[in-house]
């Protein structure tokens, strides 16, 4: 599966639908997509949908956390949703599942 990010917006909420494996080859694309959405004027929240992501490496986890940090600085909501069970388990094991999946 080729990596891609589809953007959707309803009101002030941007939804990023991520497709494909998140590894070193796509870190810049993921970072740019998330930080670009977070920095968009008028946005109230960003939702990162991982439902079509079969693999997430440690660098990708760091990017998801950086997105949350950026969202906090912009005072907007940020949530990661629909992660597959094995990705949820990894996020839980490294201690970020609750932070990333709690709509803020």
* Residue matched to tokens 């977070």: 38
Q: Alpha-carbon distance 47 to 101, whole Å?
A: 9
Nearest to residue 103, comparing CAs of 87, 82, 84? 82
pLDDT band per the 50, 70, 90 thresholds, residue 2: very high
Per-residue pLDDT tens digits for 81-99: 999 999 999 999 999 999 9
Per-residue pLDDT tens digits for 20-79: 999 999 999 999 999 999 999 999 999 999 999 999 999 999 999 999 999 999 999 999
CATH topology of domain 4-101: Transcription Regulator spoIIAA (3.30.750)
Q: Alpha-carbon distance 46 to 57, whole Å?
A: 21
Whole-model pTM above 0.75?
Answer: yes
Question: Which pLDDT value is given to residue 103?
Answer: 42
What is the residue extent of each domain of the chain?
4-101
């Amino acid at each position: 599966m080729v990596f891609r990010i589809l953007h959707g917006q309803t009101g002030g909420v941007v939804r990023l639908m991520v497709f494909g494996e998140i590894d070193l080859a796509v870190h810049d694309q993921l970072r740019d997509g998330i930080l670009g959405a977070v920095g968009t004027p008028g946005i109230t929240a960003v939702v990162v949908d991982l439902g079509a992501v079969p693999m997430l490496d440690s660098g990708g986890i760091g990017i998801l956390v950086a997105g949350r940090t950026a969202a906090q600085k912009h005072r907007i909501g940020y949530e990661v949703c629909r992660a597959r069970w094995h990705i949820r388990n990894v996020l839980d094991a490294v201690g970020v599942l609750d932070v990333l999946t709690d709509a803020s």
